[in-house]
A and B are shown apart, each in its own frame.
Chain A
Amino acid sequence: MTSGALRGRRRSLARRAFGPESIVWRLDGVLLVAVIALSVIGALLVWSSTRTWAPGSTGLLKKHLLNQGIGVFLCAGVSMMDYRAVRAYAPLVFLVSLIGLGLVLTPLGATINGSHSWILLGGGFAVQPSEFAKVGLLLITSMLLAQPVEGTDRPRGLDVLLALVVAAMSLALVMLQPDLGTALVLAAISASALMISGVRKRVIALLTLVGVAGVASVFFFELLEPYQLARFTAFLDPSVDPRGVGYNSTQSLIAIGSGQLFGKGLLGGGQTTGRFVPEQHTDFIFTVAGEEFGFLGAATVVLLIGVVLLRGLKIARQCDDRFGTLVAGTIVCWFAFQMFVNVGMTIGIMPITGLPLPFVSYGGTATFANLIAVGLLQGIRVREQQSYA
């Protein structure tokens, strides 16, 4: 009896998950496939670039797969949630992310690979609150800007101001680490949310001016760390110091270029094996793709991220709800910015900043944050279709 009831219950669970009315069938399949493909490529590249750390090891592959596994659960969980409910939690999420950023600055924070942006959890695990801060900021900004002025499709002035305030808060905390790359992503998230929300063009122009003035003052008042300034100089002319700051960009260009059209094959990259490019499992993982998979493989990675972006934009467009559109559009901008800066720096068209490549780079918190974002996208898509249905 009991076993039969249990069986029935199990069957009903399965039916709910895969039955004709299940949300699984309403997920964006293309987006799903693209993210899975990127994750698989990422796992292969992490394996290839870290297996040389110790002879006969698989490097960080297992840890990365574990992270991805956790990420999938988070993604699924988030996509199951109604995004309108998420909207209610946005201030809380933002607050938690701010606390996380604050904790990094306390003695709980730890420095890994030269950046002080970690909180150690013990057992070899660590979180990077700045990655969650991206999600937190995009949610709170979208929430603030979702409420339009009555009868128009522009956000209210006060909300815009508030959005700028919350952005400034998280930016300030990240800059205290300091983490220039994440700060730039946060700025991009905030700016793109404002743009999508429909603020007047002159406001955008004004904010752009303020941004330019801000960057100028950063240079003028020498607020940048010397190494950050050096990276910019090296970006403008990598031959300035090929053994020093120019080293990374030179070596990464050599690694990618040497892959040529077809690449040297997985695990076949001599530059990767020789670890000539630094941080090749995180910030410079694209060089591994370029060397081992060649132009065809590297372009495929770009293309797959492009698919994610375009699907995200489609979800944003199809969403009738301002909040949903804002969240989806901002996620797209976040990924687009991060991908362009990351890939661009490896091929010498962007200065070097420490940013991971979404879905591909090794990094637990980043993987979680990226997959949560995908979960948000899927959630928006599912609810939208539901509301149409």
Chain B
Amino acid sequence: MTRMRTRLIVLQALVLILLAALTVRLWQVQVVRGPELMNRATETRTRVVIVPAVRGQILDSSGRPLVRNKTALVVSVDRTGLTRMKDQGRKVLGKLSQVLGRPVAHLAKRITPCGPKVPKPCWTGSPYQPVPLDEKVDTREALQILERQEEFPGVSAEIHAVREYPGGRAGAQMLGYLSPVTEAELEKRVGLKATFSGVDLAGREGIEYVYDEELRGKAGLRRVQVDRMGKALGVEQEVEPVAGDHLVTSIDSRIQAVTEKALQRAMKSAPQADGGAAVVLDPQTGRVLALSSAPDYDPAVWAGGISERMYRHLLSEKSGKPLVSRAINGQFAPGSTFKVSSVTSMLRAGYPLNGKYSCPGSVNVGGRAFNNFRGIPLGTLSLHLALVKSCDTIFYRAAFEEYTRDGGRSPKKNAKEVFANTARKFGFGSPTGIDLPGESSGRIPDRRWKKETWALTSATNCKRAGTGYPEVKDAARAAFLKRLAHENCTEGFVLRPGDSANFSIGQGDVLVTPLQLARAYAALVTDGKVRSPRIGWALVRPDGKVVKKVPVPVVGKLPLQEKERLYIKNALSQVASDGTAAGAFSGFPMDKVRIGGKTGTAEVWGKTDTSWFASFAPTKNPRFVVVVMVSQGGMGAQTAAPAAREIYEGIFGIKKPAALPGGKPVSKLPAFAPDGTVIRE
């Protein structure tokens, strides 16, 4: 028995070793690696479903919605559920395609997660997120699905928020739109990835883009506990989404509507017109009251995802590129509206304010005759009348004199370039900084610009100067082009006398955007301060608390003394009654509301003139600056000025009830009830 005892003792030792081994290993797994494995457990056991926050509304200055959320019935499909079915959910998709009237193949593609080899349409969101298949189902279709849940396992019809535009097409470009976030954007924008669900969208273009972060709010999170098969067992953690802030804008939807209509009518009245813009500013605050661009489009096309065809159409020449806002991206020669800058340039160059200037039909600029409009001489004029009658030769001569003083073709080292620098002080040549993305800066064609452009284009021009334009059939035109190429090749870097003359009356290479012109006029007719216009006014929390007011920064000052500024303003105040726009405003009750402004007719080579009218009202204490531009609209007095008149008639209620009863922009933020609704008086 002793041998057995020994063996049993060996056995006992073995058992103790095994027990120790298990205990040590248990300690290692549960205590040492415990926290790590706990995390992995949470990962495997739960699925995070992101609950998108309700996007804030965009309101006008009285609290009327410009963009609001409409509840739409959305049919979504639980992809994981479908793929676990025996037939991969084919039967369910088949039935769904009958109800929705869409091909099965299309539905199948929509629910396939996007990947390097999976092209659109595909699903960009998380595989555990229900895939919205159709945002535009009607109640009948939704009921068909909801009432027969057993036939549609994994399919749900839910109410989602979809953007809606009560103003229709009004200000579509300014408002912008929403579309799904791209992979690249997710990487670029910090914090977006963590809260992006694949359901919610990012603001694109317009104020939806600029105020995207505030409008979007904070997505909520639901950590759903699932079992091995992915079936949800319960909610483990729930973080409520925080609804986005509402953005109150200074846009007045009544003025916006009037402006849209006036612009559309102007576009129709000019047969060649291919684009237009209208800007209404509150010159005292620098806030934007209305911003229109033509051609326009219906922003509702974005709701629920735009079709590839529609998108291509919106980008095409044929549709007139309605996505482009001419108000901030339309760059055109400003014509005579630019003379406010040129008058100021003359004053800064030392020409007396109260001097008398002769306005002949034509002046010689560097050996070339530069004519007044239709070559009509206007006699001897004060600067006041030079503006009212829109004399060109006075400005030609002054610009040429300054050009010569700067050294002409061989400029001095410290050339003053008064005309160009003054124009810059009016805010031309650089973006206004408005709260809209992708604004154009316009162009001030000074000596430096000439050089830079020449450096970029001389190679082509010099080649063309040799080869000519054999592909151009018209012999005369080909010859002209060849001469031009030769000229540009040999002396394209030189600011020629003619360039300076053209610049002084807003022709030639100078380009401005309607918004730039509007803010220059706003500064001119109020306090001389150049502002960076703002559309956003205040951000309001869903509970009605004002979170942030959007200030309007002053970015510059006009180089004018108060006396000079008022002189110019006075001159402009006579244009609509006695000057170039008198025809357009005939019959307008100037005794009630006096309108000031300046017409502009800018020549575009090979095209119809650009029609401009930059204006303000009332002249005494201006509350509105209206700038209308119609590309290929002809004379300023012919197309743009009547449109501006229509806008004023709407604002002040000349023919119809007034859009603004007080004749003043809204100056107080709308009041909000604690539930976020606007309190109306």
Contacts and interface: CB of A to CB of B under 8 A. Distances in A.
B40 interface: yes
A310 interface: yes
Given A192-B11, A196-B4, A310-B12, A254 B40 contact: yes
Contact of A299 (B8, B14, B26): B26
Contacts of A197: 4
Contacts of A316: 8
A234 B209 CA distance: 52
B38 to A, nearest CB: 4
Contacts of B3: 153-154, 198
A298 B23 CA distance: 9
Nearest to A200: B3
B228 A259 contact: no
Given A271-B44, A276-B44, A322 B30 contact: no
Interface string A261-285: 1000000001101111000000000
A215 interface: no
Contact of A336 (B8, B18, B26, B45): B18
B30 A256 contact: yes
Contacts, number: 143
A344 interface: yes
Contacts of B233: 273-274
Contacts of A184: none
Which of B3, B14, B25 has the largest number of chain A CB atoms within 10 A? B3
Contacts of B22: 302, 340, 343-344, 347
A309 B15 contact: yes
Contacts of A83: none
Nearest to B32: A257
Contacts of A260: 30-31, 34-35, 38
Contacts of B31: 260-261, 295
B30 A275 contact: no
B7 A258 contact: no
A240 to B, nearest CB: 18
A153 B1 contact: yes
A152 B227 CA distance: 61
A255 B25 CA distance: 15
Contact of B19 (A257, A302, A320, A332): A302
B2 interface: yes
B4 A302 contact: no
Contacts of A270: 41-42, 45-46, 225, 236
B7 A259 contact: no
Contact of B37 (A192, A257, A309): A257
A245 B332 CA distance: 70
B26 A290 contact: yes
From A154, A196, A257, A294, residue with most partner B Cβ within 10 Å: A257
A378 interface: no
A261 B32 CA distance: 9
Contact of A306 (B7, B14, B19, B44): B19
A23 interface: no
Contacts of B236: 270
B84 interface: no
A153 B1 CA distance: 6
Given A317-B5, A320-B1, A256 B29 contact: yes
Interface residues of B, number: 40
A275 B45 CA distance: 9
B27 interface: yes
A205 to B, nearest CB: 15
Main secondary structure of the interface of A (DSSP, over half): helix
B4 A349 contact: no
Contacts of B14: 336
A344 B20 CA distance: 12
B26 A251 contact: no
A270 B236 CA distance: 10
A274 B30 contact: no
Interface in A326-376: 326, 329, 332-333, 336, 340, 343-344, 347-349
A39 to B, nearest CB: 20
Interface centre among B2, B23, B35, B225 (most CB of A within 10 A): B23
A298 B15 contact: no
Interface string A160-204: 000000000000000000000000000000001001111000000
A255 B21 contact: no
Given A273-B227, A299-B23, A310-B12, A254 B4 contact: no
B118 to A, nearest CB: 21
A258 B225 contact: no
A347 B12 contact: no
B225 A274 contact: yes
A257 B15 contact: no
A295 B26 CA distance: 7
B226 interface: yes
Nearest to B229: A275
B36 interface: yes
Interface in B549-600: none
A52 B234 CA distance: 13
A329 B1 contact: no
B463 interface: no
B33 interface: yes
A349 B23 CA distance: 12
Nearest to A329: B8
Contacts of B35: 260
Contacts of B27: 295, 299
Contacts of B46: 270
A333 to B, nearest CB: 7
A322 B11 contact: no
B2 A153 contact: yes
A32 interface: no
A255 B38 CA distance: 8
Contacts of B226: 274
A325 interface: yes
A340 B136 CA distance: 61
A98 interface: no
A253 B37 contact: yes
A347 B30 CA distance: 9
A298 B11 contact: no
A313 interface: yes
Nearest to B7: A196
B26 A302 contact: yes
A299 B21 CA distance: 11
A153 B4 contact: yes
A69 B11 CA distance: 32
B7 to A, nearest CB: 5
Contacts of B12: 310, 313
Interface in B352-411: none
Contacts of A253: 29, 37
Nearest to A340: B18
B41 A196 contact: no
Nearest to B37: A257
**Highest count of chain A CB atoms <10 Å: which of B2, B18, B22:** B22
Given A257-B36, A260-B34, A270-B45, A348 B29 contact: yes
22 contacts: A192-B11, A198-B4, A198-B7, A251-B44, A254-B40, A254-B41, A256-B37, A257-B34, A257-B38, A257-B41, A270-B45, A271-B41, A273-B233, A274-B226, A290-B30, A310-B15, A316-B8, A329-B4, A329-B8, A332-B11, A336-B18, A349-B25
Interface of B: 1-5, 7-8, 11-12, 14-15, 18-19, 21-23, 25-27, 29-31, 33-38, 40-42, 44-46, 225-228, 233, 236
Given A253-B37, A258-B38, 18 more contacts: A198-B7, A254-B37, A257-B41, A258-B40, A260-B31, A260-B38, A295-B30, A298-B30, A299-B23, A299-B26, A302-B26, A306-B19, A310-B15, A313-B11, A316-B8, A344-B22, A347-B26, A349-B25
Interface of A: 52, 153-154, 192, 195-198, 251, 253-261, 270-271, 273-276, 290, 294-295, 298-299, 302-303, 306, 309-310, 313, 316-317, 320, 322, 325-326, 329, 332-333, 336, 340, 343-344, 347-349
The 3 closest A-B pairs by CB, nearest first: A257-B37, A258-B41, A260-B34
